[in-house]
Copies of this chain bind each other. A is one copy, B any other.
Amino acid sequence: MNNLILRTARGESTEAIPVWIMRQAGRYLPEFHTVRSKHEFLDVCKSPSLSAELTVQPYRRFAPQLDACIVFSDILTIPAAMGQTLTMVKGDGPKLFPRLESPSQIPDLILKPNVRESLGYVGDAIKESMKLVENAVPVIGFSGAPWTLFTYMVEGGGSRSWTDSRSWLYKHPEESRKILTAITDIIIEYLVMQIDSGAELLQVFDTNAGELPPAVYEEFIVPDLLRIADEVKSQRPHVSLICFPKDCTNLKPFNESAYDVISVSWKTDAAKARAELPSKVLQGNMDPAVMYAGDAVIRKTVHEMIARFGREKYIANLGHGMMPDMKPEMAQSFINAVKSA
């Protein structure tokens, strides 16, 4: 197995910079649409063989330069396991129904689902993916983070301002705590289950980390994130964990955490991240919008990015995911640029 990314994630000095791309298994690949056109979104997630097929598609295209697959799934599998109905609305993204409008709905939520029963399909998808890729590269597992999942549950999907989520927190701090704690417990079990299915590297996506006032985020949200890493690591010490507290302006609380890798978006300055996280491996962070500017601009930006982060303790990635209207050649340019740097 090409275990470059695992060694780098553990903090080892490695012979090259590992690279993968968030949302590398997705709609920008024509072969993705070939599969998705025949199946509903959630059916794909729940079918280990279909999920594995999508997981491995980018590897087929970009091997041997791509250093990892990430299991094809969705962060909203957990709200679905908690009793909300997950659907994918074309052109408008994922929707959760009914959205969490008031604490009176908490009794309708499944706060302690049987994770292996209701989310076991993600573990099976990891196993199938590892078989399909013949263990050539690691298959990354993942979960949404408590706050980000909470925001989707409250808004019922994506939002431009996430105002309802923040006001929920301010209006109902105790009930919010109850839900966030329940989600945190589920995430811990969910990640351990993914590890037991073969994932050795897992990422926690806190995509909406940057939406809260920093003091509120640090007091109310960061402890959950730290607990996830502590508990997963104490149960399964051999794995590496990535945290992506997207656009969080103070990364210092993560420096003493049990996470091995901190992923940052293009809105976070590399030098600032290095200064605040001297103990950690960093991952990121090219602005995905650079992808549209063509090979020469991608190459120049990647080289500047590597100069900023340095070649040690570093995993190359975008600052967020691939977009549906991107072309596979853009991903190839990005990967080539990393490997030729």
Stretch at the interface among A26-34, A158-166, A232-240: A158-166
**Which residues of B sit under 8 angstroms from A287, Cβ to Cβ?**
166, 170, 212-213, 216
Distance of A296 from chain B, by nearest CB (Å)? 11
State whether the Cβ of A293 lies closer than 8 Å to any Cβ in chain B: yes
A290 CB-CB contact with B under 8 Å: yes
The answer to whether B170 and A293 touch across the interface, beta carbons within 8 angstroms, is yes
- CB <8 Å contact, A267 and B214: yes
Interface residues of A in 109-124 (CB under 8 A from B): none
Interface bits A300-330 vs B (CB < 8 Å: 1, else 0) = 0100000000000000000100010000000
Given A158-B160, A170-B297, A297-B171: A269 and B290 within 8 A (CB)?
no
- A268 at the binding interface (Cβ < 8 Å): yes
Question: Beyond A167-B289, A249-B268: 12 further Cβ-contacts under 8 Å?
Answer: A170-B289, A170-B293, A170-B301, A171-B292, A171-B294, A210-B267, A211-B267, A213-B269, A213-B319, A214-B268, A214-B272, A250-B272
The 9 A-B residue pairs with the shortest CB-CB distance in the complex, in nearest-first order: A166-B289, A170-B293, A167-B292, A167-B289, A214-B269, A171-B293, A213-B266, A163-B289, A160-B160
